[in-house]
Chain A
Amino acid sequence: MSNNSTPLLEMKGVEKHFGGVRAIDRFDLRIMPRDIYGLIGPNGAGKTTIFNTITGIYQADEGQILFEGKDITKIKPHEAAALGIARTFQNIRLFENLSVKMNVIIACNMHNRYSVAEAILRLPRYRKVTKAIEERAIGFLESVGLADKADDIAGSLPYGHQRKLEIARAMATDPKLLLLDEPAAGMNEEESLELVDFLKKLHHDNPITILMIEHHMDVVSRLCEQCTVLDFGRTLAQGTVEEVKQNESVVAAYLGGEL
């Protein structure tokens, strides 16, 4: 399926309106398997809205979204997850009162099949699956360096760890496409650099494609080969990070005097 001629994700002329506001306007996107793709733009440019239409939280008003060539425009959020689209959220959404481990276990459960009767009677398959899932969850926690915090309450973790836990949870659904909504938000330069290394390793170790929204240009230029710049729902520029940085309208709209 993932040969290099079919994009993993393709958006064609996608529009989303809220009342009179065009949150996204005729948006096109092609992401090839194994890409790390950046989505940048000022606040309110419609980046998160794009994530929400991909994951089925919003339904696009116009246009088409294809995932591995399959139309997913009208998909529901849990179906998107089942197809292999995982995401994190701009303002972290953990299961706060549950343990760190349980946050990941719940995501692992997506591929976990035993019936209600097996659960209530605790039949062998239930025990076997439960044990396997728990080990798997610990594995994901180890990969983000949170294994020693497995029994802590998720909401009690420091901010940076919460971000990592959210990524671990997303990875636990075994995704093909990982959507990261401002993973470096609220991080200082040192923490951002650490995040870049972490994401590089994550991408290297797993057969995933990453689409990320990010404000920190240094993070984007270190990670992404390609990116799209948005402003007021419209696409200003698309191309490699270097090309985009040269683009005049981009400089005017977003990067301003920084370059």
Chain B
Amino acid sequence: MINSFYEGVIVTCCVNIIAVLGMSVLTGFTRLFSFGNAGFMAIGAYTAAICSVQFHLPFALSIICGAVAAGIVAYLLGSLTIRLRGDYFLISCLGFGECVRVLFLYLRDITGGATGYTGIPFRTTWVVALVCAIAAFIIAWNLIHSRYGQAFSAIRENEVAAAANGIDVVKYKKMSFVFSAIFAGWAGGLYAHYLRHITPVLFNLPKSCELVITTVLGGLGSLTGSVLATLVVQLLPEFFRKFSEYRMLAYGIAVVLVILLRPAGLMGYKEFPDLFKKSGKKKSTGGA
């Protein structure tokens, strides 16, 4: 029906879209930067894999377990760190992501250590991945346009004013963080059931950076921008295989250029449909 190259491309894109959507809610709408979301992907991937292999749970249930596990860890971590100011929170996430990776490296009996965890059944077909990505988009979109997403945007815009208007800043920040972790865990679980073999190095710091970079490229405060940027970031290297070693270099240059030339990112506070509105300039989104 579809050859394995294209299946791989589609699955990779969809998995990353889910993780980046989580990132987008956290960074684009709540203005919290996390360089540790690959850690949540790892938690989701390993939890889902272990559920499938060890406990023979059905695929969907394994994925849910992975996502929930990532969410619980984010809740606990967030309870400790969410009050930290921007850059300190960022560093704490970075540290957390690396801790998870190293932990999985050392828990050899459970995770297989550096050689990885094998024998995961192949379940994430391109159809499953696509359906999940679409569902993730709808969930994120609906959340962002509800009072919850509006509260996130208010916090991004002005924390003091948000609190003065009845928004419990700590609670909503934590919620946004947990949401991004659940999406990362979901993405990780799917990825594990596509690759069939996962190693901690898949979820290293460069992976976390890639998620943040994709979100920034797509434009903060734009879900459609995040999807678009994920497609660009994932597809370009696929079709320029020869140069794929240079992808981190290319990301770096791209981010510098975007920040210099178009700080708002590809879409910057606008959703794709807004581009076609007549009074597009005056319309706002970010929770409209």
Contact = CB atoms under 8 A, between A and B. Distances in A.
Interface of A: 55, 57, 76-78, 80-82, 86-87, 89, 93-99, 102, 105-107, 109-110, 112, 114, 116, 119-122, 126, 130, 151-153, 156, 169-170, 172-173
Interface residues of B, number: 31
B169 A78 contact: yes
A109 B147 contact: yes
Contacts of B282: 151-153, 156
Given A98-B287, A99-B284, A106-B151, A82 B166 contact: yes
B142 A102 contact: no
B139 interface: yes
Contacts of B142: 119-122
Interface of B: 139, 142-143, 146-148, 150-151, 153-154, 157-158, 160-169, 221, 269, 279, 282-284, 286-288
Contacts of A151: 279, 282-284
A110 B165 contact: yes
Contact of A97 (B147, B166, B269): B269
21 contacts: A57-B163, A81-B163, A86-B164, A89-B160, A94-B157, A95-B161, A95-B162, A97-B269, A102-B286, A106-B167, A109-B151, A109-B166, A110-B166, A114-B147, A116-B146, A120-B142, A126-B146, A153-B282, A169-B165, A170-B164, A173-B166
Given A114-B147, A119-B146, A97 B165 contact: no
Which of B158, B165, B284 counts the most A-chain CB atoms under 10 A from its CB? B165
Contacts of A87: 164
A55 B161 contact: no
Contacts of A120: 139, 142-143, 146
B154 A112 contact: no
B125 to A, nearest CB: 25
Given A93-B161, A98-B284, A98-B286, A107 B143 contact: no
A82 B164 CA distance: 9
Contact of B160 (A93, A99, A109, A121): A93
Nearest to A133: B147
Contacts of B168: 76, 78
Given A94-B158, A173-B166, A106 B150 contact: yes
A84 B222 CA distance: 33
Contacts of B162: 95, 106
Contacts of A96: 157-158
A78 B283 contact: no
Given A95-B158, A97-B284, A151-B283, 10 more contacts: A76-B168, A98-B154, A98-B157, A107-B166, A110-B166, A114-B146, A116-B146, A151-B284, A169-B165, A173-B166
A77 to B, nearest CB: 4
